[in-house]
Amino acid sequence: MAKQEIEYRAPATNWQTRGFWEGCGRGELVLQRCGDCGTVQHKPRGICASCLSSALEHFVACGRGRVYTYTVTHQNNMPGFRDACPYVLAYVDLEEGPRLMTQVAGCEPDAVEIGMAVKADFVDTGDGLGVPRFVPA
Amino acid sequence: MTLSGQIAIAGAYEHPTRFAPDKSESLIMAESARGALEEAGLRLADVDGLFAAGISMGPMGVVNLAEYLNIKPRYLDGTNIGGSSFVAHVSHAAAAIHAGLCEVALILYGSTAASSAMAIGTGLGGGGRDPEAAFVAPYGMTTVGSYALVARRHMHLYGTTPEQLAEIAVTMRQHASLNPEAKMQKRIDVADVLESRMISTPLHLLDCCIISDGGGAVIVTSLERARDLKQPPIVLRGCGEAVCHQEIGSPDLLTIAAKQSSEEAFAMSGLSHDDVDLCTIYDSFTITLLVTLENLGFCKPGEGGAFVEAGRIGLSGALPVNPDGGGLSSNHPGMRGIFLVIEAARQLRGGMGERQVDGAEVALVHGTGGTLGAIHSGATLLLSRD
């Protein structure tokens, strides 16, 4: 069977995380910054995980980063992924500091390298939400 | 007052099954309890502390297990920190016994991962409707994939090769060929590993643990009481636990929980690395064992690839690891930590036939739970002969 595209489903959200996924729906990578200690954090939380302040603000990150590590997935038996192998699972270090688990798309899996410059790209999952992937910058 | 030297393992029983479609988790646990109590010379009525974790045990699992066993212990611990749970249960039991909260602790595991066709390695890679899981779920991270992220990083930084990882699988299979109960006993070589199907680069099929049914039981009590029982007591000298996760920034993926938990265990024990005669280390994947050896301090970060070459972790090597064949070849019913404790205790008692590590006096046990490249726990024990 020919390789299929991954079937991205709309992410499950709650009030703490919805801002991130709504940002992805607009094509923006949204991170949290603490208004008290200045720490930038990901994943989003309802509290600053550095100083326990509630004074969090959201901001739009530049969307650029570098591949920290990756793996080309050749077998995943979950529906939605089973026929989409091979695909690249990766960690990307963002310019603002945090690291995201994500995928690298937009190039052959074998072309991905650690340290490669990448930029965010978004898949619309409907309902105003999206999922971020990264493509070569 | 220190725990070190006060508490002992008095029973260590591995259920011989590798495939048990006719059994339940609870039954495998109960049969394992029978085996451990018999070899220790104890009765079920002596058990006053119950410790267990399982893949399908719910939040009330240990309570339901007490009902199944028809016992009313005065101490319950259903701590589930992944596959390392049972290693942590030993230190939790030691603390409880030391504090006088129980005297005979029974630690149990049972699983039908194979006969229930649980796709542990590549069947959990995505999905889930939990908002917290949503930061992983869309990307298709399999269990194998999480460890593969660590392996790729290690190769990139240190030049570790697929051949070096394969060497670990080959050594574990050699050990399993001497274990009549091991699921996979046919010897393999490096080429077999490299030619096996790619699952998630750089990990091949034979870099991955097997899936089996199985279970086991461990009995922990005071050293004083253990000396009156049937088996030579195996003394707890040190223990430690730790957790590693992605924090909120960019941690070093190659510094794993084993570093912190083993430093605690060594400090408590007064022992040094040179004192350790063998290790039992959770080998969910070849990379797990390699990076754990580094974090335990048996070699420097980045030197793990060279360390495992030339049979160093084989039975006749300088540091034998997993004489039973480990999760890569003997058994892996989902959460393997209990077998690490059992094999270490059996080796220290002696008489394990062809796979006995000669003159084994001190063993280090390390379990990893969870997914190494995302979030995981670690638990370390140092054990010795009395």
pLDDT at B56 (0 to 100):
86
Total Cβ atoms within 10 A of residue A79: 10
pLDDT of residue B127 exceeding 70: no
Collapsing DSSP to helix, strand or coil, A59 comes out as: strand
Residues comprising chain B, all counted: 386
Q: What is the pLDDT of residues B326-364, one digit of tens each?
A: 999 999 999 999 999 999 999 999 999 999 999 999 999
pLDDT of residue B1 exceeding 70: no
**Radius of gyration in angstroms for the set of CA atoms belonging to chain B, rounded to a whole number:** 19
The phi and psi torsions of B3 (rounded to 5 degrees) equal -75, -25
> Which of A62, A56, A52 minimizes the C-alpha distance to A16?
A56
- Taking contacts as CB-CB distances below 8 angstroms, the residues of chain B near A14 are 131
Nearest chain A residue to B141, by CA: A89
pLDDT at A59 (0 to 100):
97
Q: How confident is the model at residue A4 (pLDDT cuts 50, 70, 90)?
A: confident
pLDDT at A7 (0 to 100):
86
Closest approach of A46 to chain B, Cα-based (Å): 12
Residue B223's identity, in one-letter code, is L
Distance CA B343, CA B348 (A): 9
Q: How confident is the model at residue A2 (pLDDT cuts 50, 70, 90)?
A: low
pLDDT of residue B295 exceeding 90: yes
Written out in words, the top-level CATH class of the domain with range B7-117+209-385 is alpha beta
Distances (CA, A) of B72 to B44, B65, B69, B85, B119: 10, 10, 9, 22, 35
- Taking contacts as CB-CB distances below 8 angstroms, the residues of chain B near A111 are none
pLDDT of residue B27 exceeding 90: yes
Task: Give the mean pLDDT of B73-90.
Answer: 97
- Taking contacts as CB-CB distances below 8 angstroms, the residues of chain A near B202 are 71
Partnered with residue B242 across adjacent β-strands are B378
pLDDT at B124 (0 to 100):
67
Q: What is the pLDDT of residues B225-278, one digit of tens each?
A: 999 999 999 999 999 999 998 877 778 999 999 999 999 999 999 999 999 999
pLDDT at B49 (0 to 100):
98
pLDDT of residue B372 exceeding 80: yes
Instruction: Please give the structure tokens belonging to residue B267.
Output: 């400090």
CA angle A131, B82, A50 (to 5 degrees): 55
Task: Give the mean pLDDT of B131-157.
Answer: 93
pLDDT at B126 (0 to 100):
63
Q: Do A43 and B141 lie within an 8 Å CB cutoff? A: no
Distance CA B193, CA B65 (A): 40
Query: Is residue A129 less than 8 Å (CB to CB) from chain B?
Result: no
- Taking contacts as CB-CB distances below 8 angstroms, the residues of chain B near A61 are none
Distance CA B137, CA B300 (A): 34
Side-chain half-sphere exposure of A122, counting CA atoms within 13 A:
21
pLDDT of residue A1 exceeding 60: no
Instruction: Please give the structure tokens belonging to residue B373.
Output: 């490249």
DSSP class of B154: H
> Which of B293, B291, B296, B202 minimizes the C-alpha distance to B253?
B291
Distance CA B31, CA A111 (A): 52
Q: Any idea which of A57-66, A73-82, B247-256 has the lowest mean pLDDT?
A: B247-256
Provide the percentage of residues in chain B whose pLDDT is more than 70. Answer: 98
Q: Do B197 and A74 lie within an 8 Å CB cutoff? A: yes
Distance CA B28, CA B24 (A): 6
Distance CA A20, CA A63 (A): 13
> Which of B175, B184, B234 minimizes the C-alpha distance to B36?
B234
pLDDT at B21 (0 to 100):
93
Collapsing DSSP to helix, strand or coil, A114 comes out as: coil
pLDDT of residue B60 exceeding 70: yes
Total Cβ atoms within 10 A of residue A51: 12
Q: Are B367 and B282 in contact (CB under 8 A)?
A: yes
pLDDT at B128 (0 to 100):
62
Distance CA B292, CA B154 (A): 12
Q: Do B149 and A71 lie within an 8 Å CB cutoff? A: yes
Distance CA B171, CA B290 (A): 12
Written out in words, the top-level CATH class of the domain with range A18-136 is mainly beta
Task: Give the mean pLDDT of A46-72.
Answer: 97
Interface ipTM > 0.90: yes
Find residues 82-121 of chain B whose CB sits inside 8 Å of chain A: 119
The phi and psi torsions of A127 (rounded to 5 degrees) equal 55, 25
Residues comprising chain A, all counted: 137
Q: What is the pLDDT of residues A89-125, one digit of tens each?
A: 999 999 999 999 999 999 999 999 999 999 999 999 9
pLDDT of residue A61 exceeding 60: yes
pLDDT at B170 (0 to 100):
98
Distance CA B209, CA B339 (A): 14
Q: Are A113 and A137 in contact (CB under 8 A)?
A: no
Query: Is residue A3 less than 8 Å (CB to CB) from chain B?
Result: no
Residue B323's identity, in one-letter code, is P
Distance CA B309, CA B286 (A): 13
Mean pLDDT (chain A) is 95
Mean pLDDT (chain B) is 95
pLDDT at A9 (0 to 100):
86
Q: Any idea which of A38-42, A64-68, B1-5, B62-66 has the lowest mean pLDDT?
A: B1-5
Closest approach of A8 to chain B, Cα-based (Å): 6
pLDDT at B371 (0 to 100):
92
Distances (CA, A) of A108 to A104, A113, A122, B347: 9, 11, 18, 49
Nearest chain A residue to B200, by CA: A73
